[in-house]
Amino acid sequence: MILYLKFAILRLTNKAMTVGSKMSSALERLKKITSQISSYELARKENLTKLQKLFSTIGIDKKIHNFSDIFKFKAINLSGVSLSEENLGEIKEGKYLQILAISYDKDAKVKSKNISLAYFGRVENVDEKLREQVVEFVIRFRFEKSFMNLEHYHTMLGKFANTNE
C-alpha cells in the first residue's frame, strides 16, 4: 500500500510540474503526509518486534503464554516506577515493582479487574537493567495499544460516514 502511494505521488509530481505551483504545493503536502504514515508504520513494526522480545525477557510469557493475548487487556500499568515523561523510570522508594494488567468485563458485578503479570520485589532491589526493560515494555505496549485504539475508533466513525450527508 505504501509503495503504491509513493509510486502514485511520483507520477503525480511529474504531471504537476506541467500544471503549476498550486498542484506542486498540494503534492508536496501529500508527499509529507505519506512519508509520516510510512514512518509510523515502520515504527509500529519495530515496536512490536521489540515488545515481543521484552515479553519473554522480563518473564511475562510465564503468565500469559500467547503474546497477542496481552492486547486483550484494556491497559497495563506499573507500580514502583514512574511512567511520567518528566520522571520516566524514577523509582518510588519502599514500593514494589509490579506490572499490572487491567481487564474489563461489562457483564461482571465488578467491571474492572487488576491482574499481576509480573512481580519483581522491592523496586530498590531490582537490577537497573531489568527496571529499564520493564518500563520499556509498558511504554511499548501503550504505543501499540494506541494504534489499536485509533483503528477501532476509525472503524466506528466509518459507520457515520453515510448518515451525515
Q: What angle do CA 98, 66, 130 make, to 5 degrees?
A: 35
Between 4 and 148, where is the model more confident?
148
Residue 20, pLDDT above cutoff 80: no
Q: Please state, in angstroms and rounded to a whole number, the distance separating the CA atoms of residues 84 and 126.
A: 20
Q: Tell whether pTM > 0.95.
A: no
Q: What is the rounded CA–CA span in Å between residue 150 and residue 157? A: 10
Q: Tell me the percentage of the chain whose pLDDT exceeds 70.
A: 83
- Tell me, what's the pLDDT at 148? 84
Place of cell 459507520: 159
| Per-residue pLDDT, 77 | 94
pLDDT at 8: 53
pLDDT at 1: 46
> What was the pLDDT predicted at 102?
92
Q: What is the mean pLDDT of the chain?
A: 83
* Least confident stretch, 10-19, 40-49, 54-63, 136-145: 10-19
* pLDDT score at 6: 52
